[in-house]
Structure 1
Amino acid sequence: ADGTTAVVETAEASGLALLEAKKRNPLIASSYGTGELMLAAVRSGAKRIIVGLGGSATNDAGAGLLQALGVRLLDKNGNDLKHGGAALADLATIDISTMDPALKNVAITAACDVTNPLTGPTGASAVFGPQKGASKDDVATLDAALAHFAQVIDSQLGVAVNDVPGAGAAGGIGAALKGFLNAEFRPGIAIVIEQSGLDAAAQWADVVFTGEGSIDFQTKFGKTPAGVAETAKRHGKPVIAVAGHIGTGIDELHEVGIDAVFGIAPGAASLSELLADAAANVTRTTEQIVRTLQL
């Protein structure tokens, strides 16, 4: 609403959900579309871009994104690299002189909820590659290609990106944003709380409701309900969470400020039925919770 901040969501431009399972191939999938949206934002007058990192179908360390912004990634013969993470194995030269100059006046914030490095056993390829269609051999190929990319960035630009927490987010787009655009990394929930005015709203609320598709002990590791609870507890407010599915270890969530958890499923049903009826199920469940509070 400030007229100068743009939000670009990786999952909506280069997302896994945009591809049928049979078409997923992280060896060639490119983040180019995400870069196109960033460039469009800059040319529309944006002075700050928040890039949501997550849900990508890519494993190209943001190479496609960089190419869309004008960066040239060249092989030993001076040819532009093809799209996809595997092509980075052939990278010889990085030319940033052709990058759109307007980007110098834009602040980039990466909304990132993971701390994975670019490569290695906890890197982009090993952890996220398989869900994007990578075989065991593909993971090895991609990890080596991304490691080479990081080495070239370090040697030619003097920026070390491989071990930066969050560099492996969104198939390595985090590394590109950090290495080429000096992006600030922040947890997604922190940005949402700031932009939505949640802290101010929590001050006058009687009860704070939050929710998640599937809630379990992992929720406490920086996911939305945990962030909401932390904000609410600063003002001494009770917090109730509703979820489509309740997993294991929800008792651990009480330690981070979530006072009670309720599932919204009315009974046994298929996932498609539950998704289709989600709004009605949330409404029914929260009405019953509030009725209980009024007793």
Structure 2
Amino acid sequence: GMLQALGVRLRDADGVELPPGGGALRRLAEIDLGPLAGALGGAEVVVACDVDNPLLGPRGAAAVYGRQKGADDGDLTVLEEGLTRFADLVAEATGRDVREAPGAGAAGGVGFAALALLGATMRPGIELLLDLLGFDGAVRGACLVVTGEGCLDAQTLHGKAPAGVAAAAARAGVRVAAVAGRLELSEPEWRAAGFAAAIALTDLAEQPGDSVTRAAELAELAGERLAGRLLPC
């Protein structure tokens, strides 16, 4: 979709442009990159990316993220075949193959398209944002940094925001705590990632669903517990 919006033509064997959707890529026979250079206007493309997955395989876009978006086993096979076909033809058209590059599997393969066809450079999303926010200056003299996300899990460890915040705070010698909706990392795992404490709202909830319907209240309770455990420094 991104490429087509920039003027790239993706056609099947009959010369018909492919419709939207990853499944259609299985029919891809021709990539027309002609309009792309003019569409970019000489712009430099920097991709902010918070995962390091390749495009294909067991850690690829379809296998890791497809099921999260509602794909079943049959859909995953179709998507993997389509992305493989896409990668093969892009490599043929450009003379370079970046399907294994870290981040190529981000956003359903948008990372791959940006690297391969837009000449993009890839930066960890949280690194770019922390630079824009002046985090290194703001954290100096802090006693504690609190970060979090919906689910602290294995994906967090592959460059997502909380892991990036923990690494940046560690460089400044400041402890970091995480508050998450759910916590799927063991204590040794989250401690190894640089967190001094981690609290899940689901663990504070009295009833299933409270972590959604009472999120603000439970987040406040999490703050109280962190303060009692980690403050004063």
Regarding TM over 0.5, the answer is yes
The CA deviation at 1:175 is: 1.4
Out of 94, 97, 122, which is 1:157 matched to? 94
Relative distance call for 1:144 and 1:86 in structure 2 (3 A) is same
Structure 2 residue identity aligned to 1:199 = D
Aligned match of 1:86: 23
What's the CA shift for 1:70?
Answer: 0.8
State the distance in 2 between where 1:134 and 1:242 align.
29
Q: CA deviation at 1:100?
A: 6.4
Closer, same or farther: CA 145–241 of 1 in aligned 2, 3 Å: closer
Q: Which residue of 1 aligns with 2:220?
A: 283
- 1:267 aligned to which of 205, 216, 225: 205
Q: What is the Cα-based RMSD across aligned positions, in Å? A: 2.5
CA contact 2:201–2:211 (8 Å) conserved in 1: no
Find the aligned partners of 1:141 and 1:67 in 2 and give their Cα distance: 20
Q: Equivalent residue for 1:202?
A: 139
Q: 1:151 to 1:244 in 2, by over 3 A?
A: closer
Counterpart CA distance in 1 for 2:74 and 2:222 is 47
Structure 2 counterpart of 1:59? none
- What TM-score, normalized to structure 2? 0.85
> Which one of 157, 162, 181 corresponds to residue 225 of structure 1?
162
SS of alignment partner, residue 107 of structure 1: coil
Number of equivalences:
231
- Give the direction of change, closer, same or farther, for the CA distance of 1:209–1:129 in structure 2 (3 Å limit): closer
CA distance in 2, matches of 1:285, 1:136: 38
The residue matched to 1:185 in structure 2 has which SS?
A: strand
Match of 1:76 in 2: 13
* Alignment equivalent of 2:178, drawn from 237, 241, 246: 241
Alignment of 1:14-29 (within 5 A): none
* CA distance 1:178–1:262, change in 2 (3 Å): same
Residues 72-151 of structure 1: pairs in structure 2 closer than 5 A: 72-99=9-36, 101-151=38-88
Q: What are the superposed Cα offsets for residues 172-230 of structure 1, whole Å, 9 maximum, x if unpaired?
A: 11111111101111222212211221111111212222223333566444232222222
Instruction: Work out the CA distance in 2 between the residues paired with 1:228 and 1:245.
Output: 18
Q: Is the 8 A contact 2:197 2:226 kept in 1?
A: no
The Cα shift of 1:248 comes to 4.0
With structure 1 as the length reference, what TM-score do the two structures score? Answer: 0.69
What is the CA–CA distance in structure 1 between the aligned matches of 2:39 and 2:162, rounded to whole Å? 37
Runs of 4+ more than 6 Å apart: none
In structure 2, how many angstroms separate the alpha carbons of the residues matched to 1:212 and 1:116? 19
Task: Give 1:65 deviation, angstroms.
Answer: 1.4
Identity level (%): 42
Q: Does residue 189 in structure 1 map to residue 126 in structure 2?
A: yes
Q: Is the 8 A contact 1:167 1:178 kept in 2?
A: yes
Provide the secondary structure at the position in 1 that maps to 2:140.
Answer: helix
Q: Which moved more, 1:114-123 or 1:194-203?
A: 114-123
